[in-house]
Amino acid sequence: MKQQQAFPTIINSEVLRGMTLRDYFAAAIITGIFAHRDNVFNTHLMNATEAYQMADAMIRAREEV
């Protein structure tokens, strides 16, 4: 799986790489789940590994479209 950048920026012909799209998705997933404590996913405390697994699934789904 290619590591795409979430927010690449070019300044003076230099590419500044930020977080990867995978990192961005995982952060968004875990933030959203913790923000909604009554969410069905909160039957157990989600950990970072699970958030990255969901992020990987999101990236695979993007590639299939």
The alpha carbon of 15 is separated from its chain's Cα centroid by a whole number of angstroms, namely 21
CA distances from 42 to 32, 36, 65 (A): 11, 8, 29
pLDDT at 26: 92
pLDDT, one tens digit per residue, over 7-61 is: 777 788 877 777 889 999 999 988 887 777 666 655 566 678 888 999 999 999 9
